[in-house]
Structure 1
Amino acid sequence: MKRIAALILLASLTANALAFEPFVVSDIRIDGLTRIAQGTVLSYLPIEKGDTLSDEKVQAAIRALYQTKFFSDVEVDRQGDILVIKVVERPAIAKLTLRGNKDIKEEDLRKGLKEIGLAEGETFDRLSLDRVQQELIRQYYNRGKYNVSVEPHVTKLDRNRVAIDIEIREGKAAKIKEINVVGNKAFTDKSIRDGFESDTTNWMSWYSKDDQYSREKLSGDLEKLSAYYMNRGYADFGVDSTQVAISPDKRAMYISTSVKEGEVYTVSDVKLLGELILPEDTLRKLVFIQKGQTFNRAAIEASTNAIKGILANIGYAFAKVTPIPKLDKDKRTVDLTLFIEPGKRVYVRRVVFQGNTRTEDEVLRREMRQLEGAWYSQAAIDRSKIRLQKLGYFKTVDIDKALVPGTVDQVDLTAKVEEQSAGSLMFGVGYSQYSKIILSASVSQNNFLGTGDRFSVGAETSNYYKRINASYVNPYLTDNGLQLGYNVSYSKLDYGNTDLANYTYSTKSFQTTLSWPISDFDSLSTSLGVSSNLINSQITTPRELVAYQDAVGNRTIHSWTSSLGYNHDTRNGYWAPTRGGVLSASIEGALPGSTVQFYKLFGEANHYWPVGGGFVLYLDGQVGYGKTYGQTYANNGYDAAGNIIYRKGDSIDFPFWENYYGGGVRDVRGFQDNTLGPRLCDGASASSTPAKDGSCSGGYYSYGQPIGGAFKVLGTAQVFLPLPFLKDVNTARVSWFVDVGNVYKDYQSFSASELRASTGLSLQWQAPIGPLIINFAVPIRKKDEDSRFVERIQFTFGNTF
């Protein structure tokens, strides 16, 4: 083909280039231009005024103009000393239409067409159109659609323009009817095909498309087949042949693969050769296959990756570890050599950022743990990537390395990010038979003007709860990561409109916080604030709560609050971690001089473990404890019968408005929000303590009202499931969970027999409307008094902009 093209070009040049006597060009005239400017053409010509023209220069000029692809014909003539070039312009593409494409998105098609010069406004080339036709057919063949038809139609328009209409008839994909593996004796067809992307039609094929043939999928499946055998000792396993047949109607595919299993081999020795850099004992600890063990390719690959990883952490960014197995077929043993080539030790010259159109470079740079001018460290780069992900500003983060041209010991790092909205408009919606509709909304900007500063304004309302708050945080007040934040809020709770204790509670507060890192995984935080709380009781308020206020002696509660917290975070991801966890502890409370002095201790520990097969185990435990200090009751507090409940001079009990609560979409799922724990009958009931079934008699309400407690325990076991229709765990995850927990009046009241438990499924989805959580939960341990508080389906969602 290349020879034919050369002959055609030579004939063209010979035909269009007349033989000239050499002469000096006094001027150049170009005839035939309608759309292309003469100056553009002259810029491509290798001839200028004053040049002496020869046949060689004429041919070079014609060749240069053809290479622009602007012209379909070029002729050269002479009028006296004037060089005359006559051209025929190729038409311009005025309109490009794609019809019938469903399997391939139009935007992807147009992007591919533009890369080869077929786009609106470009010059039309018939050869490019033919290449496009063949490429589209090839892409559809790769998707198993062998009935595809691609018909381009070209319509001539005025002013030397054309309209191109590409009509695509995709047809139906050919289905895989049979997959036969011939020659396997040690393992069944079912076991060796487990994990194949290709399969015959099954009940999930409508979604997974696994019954549609693809050459790339088949190639990957054959690699998995080889890995299956080699991971089980078959070191000389091989695929002899693979045949793919298609039915006459191009609707059915038949795949047959012939394999040679070979024999099971044992490792006779493992050697480390080459330039080891580190002590051999250190490297030996990273070798996961030993003498006497069955040959295992996965273990060998893990060993090579581990050795490359440790070398990369000390600067050898391009280290190579080559496994060289030597098979003894008579003894069925493998002598394995790992040959180490560390290469040059390199340091990082420069770190650059790409894709951060809104976020300032400094915001990204302060999260980098790989420093410029330091030795290359893969561990530091991996940690930098996690820190960038945890900012929440970016959809994807990739860090690439490249050798600096002309050097062997310097690399540049490029952190490529894809920004996502750092502003959000969050909505929460809930509904229950008793609380009716619950709405919440917040407007936040986690990357204000690209500086990384955060602010938010939020509101929540229901028939019993109203809250407004605003906050601002500067995460890097100083270069070492000192974080300063402010928060102001107002809330009003009217528990009389729900199943909780019947009273209203209004709070106005202001708080400032400081936090600072003490390591890459650990941080401390502290806060100082002031609040004013107004509590109004009603005739339906449980009498014990009214008596507590009487004994304290004040309906308005003033508090100076402070807190101290510690956080240890080793998670390997932001949205969907699979390793690591969080350990946190805090103490907060009201300082001396407050109306009621108290403190609250809270601790949480959780961890993620990958357990194989795509499953991830998550365990979480929480404990909360509250207590007062240094104060006594100012008055006596009486129950409805006139008996003293709280005696003047006794130590004050923990304030009920600071109680912990349990139950809800992020707590013990399957129970309504805040409904676990102690309950009291309203002030008009015959007794303040509900019956065993949770009922109250003689009052306004027939059930006990939840009031929370000063001690809380919560445990969660969760397994994230590798479902086939949720391939991207960063977008959606499904888990099976078991929650156990409850709230108690105080620590002394704790009883394991009072723990509540539930189990069910949870979907966490980064949906287009925002983060979405849907739980289906079934209580597996509850009491009779819990019946009215059970909620099987719970959800919350948000929206981003």
Structure 2
Amino acid sequence: MKRIAALILLASLSAKAMAFEPFVVTDIRIEGLSRISAGTVYNYLPVNKGDQLTKEAAQRAIRALYQTKFFSDVELEREGGILVVKVVERPAIAKLTLRGNKDIKEDDLRKGLKEIGLSEGETFDRLSLDRVQQELIRQYYNRGKYNVSVNPHVTYLDRNRVAVEIEIREGKVAKIKQLNIVGNRAFDDKEIRKDFESDTTNWLSWYSKDDQYSREKLSGDLEKLQSFYMNRGYADFAIDSTQVTIAPDKREMYIAASVKEGEIYTVSDVHLLGELILPEDTLRKLVFIHTGDTFNRAAIEGSSNAIKGLLANIGYAYAKVTSIPKLDKEKRTVDLTLYVEPGKRVYVRRIVFQGNTRTEDDVLRREMRQFEGSYYNQAALDRSKIRLQQKGYFKKVDIDKQLVPGTEDKVDVTVKVEEQSAGSLMFGIGYSQYSGIILSASVSQNNFLGTGDSFSLGAEKSDYYTRITGSYYNPYLTDNGVGIGYNATYTKTDYGNTDFANYETSLKSFSSYLGVPITDFSNIRLGLGLSSNKITSYEGYTPEVLIDYQRALGHYTEHAWTGTLGWNRDTRNSYWAATRGGLMSANVDVALPGSTVQYWKLYTEANHYWPIGGGFVLYLDGQVGIGKTYGNQTYDETWGPYKAGDKVDFPFWQNYYGGGVRDVRGFQDNTLGPRLCAGVDANGNPIQADKRGYCNGSYYNYAQPVGGAFKVLGTAQVFLPLPFLKDINTARVSVFVDVGNVYKDYNSFEAKDLRASAGIALQWQAPIGPLIISFATPFRDKPDDKHYEERIQFTFGSQF
């Protein structure tokens, strides 16, 4: 067809160019123009005044004007020495309408049409419209929609314009009726197809859409099939044929793949050849397949990638490692060669940032671990990308490299970012069983004026507390990453509206801190703060021991100078949905001399994620908190168990608490640990709770949790790969075991008193904020816990 069209065009050009004999052009006149300027025609016309116009030159001129696609007809005529160019302009597209497209987004479709010249304002070309029609049909076929129809309609308007309407009737996706693997003997169909994206209709198909045929999905599944066998030693495995048949109604697909399994091969030897650059022993450590191992393509590819990665970290950005397996079919062995081609060692000439319309270049540059003028380092670039993503004000970060034109040893690195809003004005509502309804309002900016500084102001109110906060942080007080921050807080709390002991606090505090990086993964925090906390207790409602503590101390308002030292190491690969890495932290707060009570609190945590295969992820977490007074501070008066002159005990308002949806699940928030009754008996002694936790034997009067100065918590959790939760960044399901408790102090610790529960949990990044739901059953508890056990627990809505 293309040859016929070419011949027709050639004949037409000849006919239109034979109306004159060769002559010298003294002038050129253009006729027939309406939208296109004469200057545009002159630019494309390969004929100038003074040229001799031959038949061949005329044909070239006509061809050049046709190729602009501006004209539907071009003729050349002669009037004496004047060349007359008569043209008929193609119409302009005044309006382009798309109807019926659901599977392909309109923005994506219009973008694709524009790339081939079919968009409003462009010149209309019928051939382009035909190509669009065929391409759309092909794309829908690839999506399994064989009933699709694409009908373009062209309406001619005045002033040489057209309106183009493309009507699409997508039809239904063809469903996979049968999917058969023929020739497999070593493995059954279920095992082979376990990771396939394509499947016949099943009870989850409404969600996974795995029964909808797609050419791309089938191609990917066949690649998985080949990898399945070659990762298990079948080095000569082959897919002999693939047959896809569609039913006459174009609604059902029948797929059959014939395979030749071959035999299992072992590795007879592994060679490293080529220009190794590094000592062979160093590279050998990155080879994951060895003599005597069963052939494994994944291990070979992993070895190649590891060697390329190491070379890329020392400047060889374009290194190649080619695996060359030599099969001995009689011995069923593979002689494997990894051929290394490092290429030129390159260094980075320039780092360019694109897309940061609000953020200053310096904010991005200070996160880069690759430097200009130094050798290319892939690991440094990967770390730079993670650091930029962790900033929170970039939706997307891409880093690319390009060879500097005319060189072989220089690259420019381009960092492309897509900014997202780093500020917010929020009015929110949340709920937790612990806090009740939570109302909040806040204004925050994590990238103040594009400097990378952050600040926030917020207010929050729940059933038991009112909180107002303000903060500011400059992450780069110095060039080496030392940051400085300030926090101010006012909190009024009525613990009587919770499961805490019945008392109230009114806290005002201000603090400043320095963040000092140690490595890319760890930092320390140094802080100094001032606080004033008024504690109000009530006779008959607050446990008597707490009232006696304040009386013996002689103060009802606590003043404290607080010093803070913290250390943090974070190697997680994601904040929300980590699958590897972990977090280790230790934080100590010290109420310095001159405070109402001199004490210190130490809290440590260590956790880690391990992928354990099949999409399962193991998570282990351990936490320990301990608090104690120091110095020679003593009580002023004798009240209850507190004697004048005795050393002051740890203040109860700084106690640790345990239990809840983020702690030992299955127990109500903050209810684990020591519990005390309110009031005194007839002899003036504090009322004691019985084994069931009742005060005065009353079912309606339970002992109040008061927390303690020592806490332990451990969690073992396995995240599950569920087919209907493919995006773990949105939702995750896990099974867990929690163990922990709170004790009066370190000396009171008894392993037999540890509480434990097991259950299942859902974490969901809902539009209203993080949602956590757990169903837990305590399997290690005591009779006095029964009132505080809670099987289903949940919390949602952001808190700050």
Please report the TM-score for the alignment, with normalisation by the length of structure 1.
0.94
521-530 or 354-363: bigger deviation = 354-363
Secondary structure (helix, strand or coil) at the match of 1:437 reads strand
Distance 1:353 1:685 in 2: 74
Distance 2:381 2:521 in 1: 15
Q: In structure 2, do the counterparts of structure 1 residues 590 and 220 end up closer, same or farther at CA, with 3 Å as the change threshold?
A: same
Secondary structure (helix, strand or coil) at the match of 1:299 reads helix
Q: Amino acid of the residue matched to residue 581 of structure 1? A: G
Match of 1:691 in 2: 690
Instruction: Decide whether the 8 Å contact of 2:22 with 2:52 is kept in 1.
Output: no
Match of 2:788 in 1: 789
Q: Amino acid of the residue matched to residue 156 of structure 2? A: K
Secondary structure (helix, strand or coil) at the match of 1:584 reads strand
Match of 1:202 in 2: 202
1:436-472 Cα offsets, whole Å, 9 max, x none, are 4233443322121221111112222112200101000
Secondary structure (helix, strand or coil) at the match of 1:396 reads strand
Q: Amino acid of the residue matched to residue 650 of structure 1? A: D
Q: In structure 2, do the counterparts of structure 1 residues 790 and 415 end up closer, same or farther at CA, with 3 Å as the change threshold?
A: farther
Instruction: Decide whether the 8 Å contact of 2:590 with 2:601 is kept in 1.
Output: yes
Distance 1:442 1:623 in 2: 32
1:374-416 Cα offsets, whole Å, 9 max, x none, are 1122222222222222222223333222222211112222223
Secondary structure (helix, strand or coil) at the match of 2:452 reads coil
Distance 1:102 1:752 in 2: 61
Distance 2:92 2:300 in 1: 58
> CA offset at residue 30 of structure 1?
3.3
Question: 5 Å matches for 1:570-581?
Answer: 570-581=571-582
396-405 or 691-700: bigger deviation = 691-700
Distance 1:683 1:631 in 2: 31
1:521-549 Cα offsets, whole Å, 9 max, x none, are 22111001111111122232221111111
Question: 5 Å matches for 1:84-123?
Answer: 84-123=84-123
1:61-107 Cα offsets, whole Å, 9 max, x none, are 43333222222222333455554433322222222222222222222
144-153 or 669-678: bigger deviation = 669-678
> CA offset at residue 721 of structure 1?
2.0
Match of 2:724 in 1: 725
Match of 2:750 in 1: 751
Match of 1:281 in 2: 281
> CA offset at residue 605 of structure 1?
0.7
> CA offset at residue 700 of structure 1?
12
> CA offset at residue 114 of structure 1?
1.7
Question: 5 Å matches for 1:557-636?
Answer: 557-636=558-637
Question: 5 Å matches for 1:38-53?
Answer: 38-47=38-47, 53=53
Distance 2:437 2:657 in 1: 20
> CA offset at residue 435 of structure 1?
5.4
Distance 1:43 1:508 in 2: 77
Secondary structure (helix, strand or coil) at the match of 1:536 reads strand
Match of 2:29 in 1: 28
Secondary structure (helix, strand or coil) at the match of 1:646 reads coil
Question: 5 Å matches for 1:112-191?
Answer: 112-191=112-191
Distance 2:491 2:793 in 1: 27
1:592-631 Cα offsets, whole Å, 9 max, x none, are 0011111101111111111111222111111111111124
1:680 is aligned, of 671, 676, 682, to 676
Secondary structure (helix, strand or coil) at the match of 2:574 reads coil
Q: Amino acid of the residue matched to residue 29 of structure 2? A: I
Instruction: Decide whether the 8 Å contact of 1:695 with 1:703 is kept in 2.
Output: yes
Match of 1:641 in 2: none
Q: Amino acid of the residue matched to residue 610 of structure 1? A: P
Match of 1:509 in 2: 509
Q: In structure 2, do the counterparts of structure 1 residues 762 and 599 end up closer, same or farther at CA, with 3 Å as the change threshold?
A: same
Instruction: Decide whether the 8 Å contact of 2:514 with 2:526 is kept in 1.
Output: yes
Match of 2:702 in 1: 703
Please report the TM-score for the alignment, with normalisation by the length of structure 2.
0.94
Instruction: Decide whether the 8 Å contact of 1:622 with 1:714 is kept in 2.
Output: yes
Instruction: Decide whether the 8 Å contact of 1:399 with 1:413 is kept in 2.
Output: yes
Match of 2:712 in 1: 713
Match of 2:337 in 1: 337
Distance 2:127 2:763 in 1: 50
Instruction: Decide whether the 8 Å contact of 1:741 with 1:756 is kept in 2.
Output: yes
Q: In structure 2, do the counterparts of structure 1 residues 502 and 586 end up closer, same or farther at CA, with 3 Å as the change threshold?
A: same
Q: In structure 2, do the counterparts of structure 1 residues 383 and 280 end up closer, same or farther at CA, with 3 Å as the change threshold?
A: same
Distance 2:681 2:43 in 1: 98
Distance 1:760 1:79 in 2: 95
Q: Which ranges of structure 1 fall in alignment gaps of 5 or more residues?
A: 639-643
Match of 2:326 in 1: 326
Is structure 2 residue 656 aligned with structure 1 residue 660? yes
Instruction: Decide whether the 8 Å contact of 1:714 with 1:740 is kept in 2.
Output: yes
Match of 2:740 in 1: 741
> CA offset at residue 39 of structure 1?
4.1
> CA offset at residue 431 of structure 1?
4.2
Match of 2:417 in 1: 417
775-784 or 324-333: bigger deviation = 775-784
Number of matched pairs:
793
Q: Amino acid of the residue matched to residue 595 of structure 1? A: T
Match of 2:296 in 1: 296
Q: In structure 2, do the counterparts of structure 1 residues 78 and 574 end up closer, same or farther at CA, with 3 Å as the change threshold?
A: farther
Distance 2:160 2:736 in 1: 68
1:646 is aligned, of 642, 645, 653, to 642
749-758 or 525-534: bigger deviation = 749-758
Secondary structure (helix, strand or coil) at the match of 1:227 reads helix
Q: Amino acid of the residue matched to residue 735 of structure 1? A: S
> CA offset at residue 27 of structure 1?
5.3
Q: In structure 2, do the counterparts of structure 1 residues 231 and 742 end up closer, same or farther at CA, with 3 Å as the change threshold?
A: same
Secondary structure (helix, strand or coil) at the match of 1:561 reads strand
Instruction: Decide whether the 8 Å contact of 2:768 with 2:796 is kept in 1.
Output: no
Secondary structure (helix, strand or coil) at the match of 2:641 reads strand
1:554-592 Cα offsets, whole Å, 9 max, x none, are 111111111111112222334433222121112112100
Distance 2:632 2:687 in 1: 26
Instruction: Decide whether the 8 Å contact of 1:632 with 1:648 is kept in 2.
Output: no
Distance 2:697 2:256 in 1: 80
Distance 1:401 1:271 in 2: 31
Distance 2:643 2:221 in 1: 77
Distance 1:674 1:482 in 2: 36
> CA offset at residue 784 of structure 1?
3.8
Question: 5 Å matches for 1:212-611?
Answer: 212-424=212-424, 425=426, 427=428, 429-432=430-433, 436-539=436-539, 540-611=541-612
> CA offset at residue 551 of structure 1?
0.9
Q: In structure 2, do the counterparts of structure 1 residues 26 and 518 end up closer, same or farther at CA, with 3 Å as the change threshold?
A: same
Instruction: Decide whether the 8 Å contact of 1:683 with 1:699 is kept in 2.
Output: no
Instruction: Decide whether the 8 Å contact of 1:559 with 1:596 is kept in 2.
Output: yes
Q: Amino acid of the residue matched to residue 13 of structure 1? A: L
Q: Amino acid of the residue matched to residue 737 of structure 1? A: F
Q: In structure 2, do the counterparts of structure 1 residues 666 and 395 end up closer, same or farther at CA, with 3 Å as the change threshold?
A: farther
Instruction: Decide whether the 8 Å contact of 2:431 with 2:797 is kept in 1.
Output: no
Distance 2:668 2:415 in 1: 45
94-103 or 725-734: bigger deviation = 725-734
Is structure 2 residue 192 aligned with structure 1 residue 192? yes
Q: In structure 2, do the counterparts of structure 1 residues 757 and 379 end up closer, same or farther at CA, with 3 Å as the change threshold?
A: same
> CA offset at residue 180 of structure 1?
1.6
Q: Amino acid of the residue matched to residue 525 of structure 1? A: R
